[in-house]
Structure 1
Amino acid sequence: MSDQREAVVVRRAEHADVDGLVECSGALFAEDAGTRDSSINIDWPREHGPQRFASGIDDPNRLLLVAGYEGKVVGHLVGALGGPSAMRPVKVATLVSMYVHPGFRRSQIGGRLVAEFFSWAKDAGATAAEVTAYSSNAEAMKFYERNGFAPQSVTLQTSL
């Protein structure tokens, strides 16, 4: 696993990575939202991902990273900048989505993706970073806390 981990390259996504981003995003939706939130369209990555990822690659307010291994995308991170605004007068970087293929987890790839996200956010002038995770996804919550995030608010929801 050590050789495999060291061979994984974390870098900015290119247009040639869009199919890999769609595949990773589809896996994230199936594994996470698809098992935790019946209101989510789990086909979103296939239906809308190609256009969304392609436009995000060239957007200076978005960050698309891939973790590549032997020419295949085995992980991704999407970040976005927001603000400042009158209500929240700071620039905030949001970690929109992140996924690492199960065979590559627990090998610091997620931490490398988050470190690149933090570096990009600081360079862009953000003074805060945030991420949303399903409260029932204990592993994700632990991961984000290990990487410097702390709970700040809770969203409560009910079906109507």
Structure 2
Amino acid sequence: MKRFLTPVPAPDPTSPGQESVWNFPRPARIEPVTSRLKVEFAGRVVADTVNGFRAIETSHPPSYYFPPSDVDRGLLRTASKRTLCEWKGGAAYFDLVAGTRVSEDAVWSYPDPVSDFAPITGYLAFYPARVDACFVDGERVVPQEGSFYGGWITSKVAGPFKGPPGTAGW
């Protein structure tokens, strides 16, 4: 039996058209999306696509991955940060730089993900809390809490969401 550091909460009720993050799979998986995804930083559109992927995992709002061709790569600077995801593999990070504005480690990518995540090889994901705004089909995203997580919360997903203090054991 798996033990949790903190009690796992009951899922929030869902409204019509919503998904519960508690019905998302574990391990994580990716799915193509045709929603319009957009990221803004320093008065510029950094990324804009209808050809993205979303990663979904139990208790997490989705994170979204943009094809490199739909990102203004001139605003990216390679960062030294590297992390390892138990599902996707090793991630590389980028800073966003626009004029005098810099957002460190605002973007991540999997240059060589495990085979189940091969479709997002080289795709770019953005931390909503480290940019000025992110949108899904025109709806402004609320960033997932916590400095480690990069989930995008919209009215289409119901929580509670992992990230705030006390949720690390979920």
TM over 0.5: no
Per the normalisation by structure 1, the TM-score is 0.26
Query: Larger relative contact order (C-alpha < 8 A, sep ≥ 6)?
Result: 2
More strand by share: 2
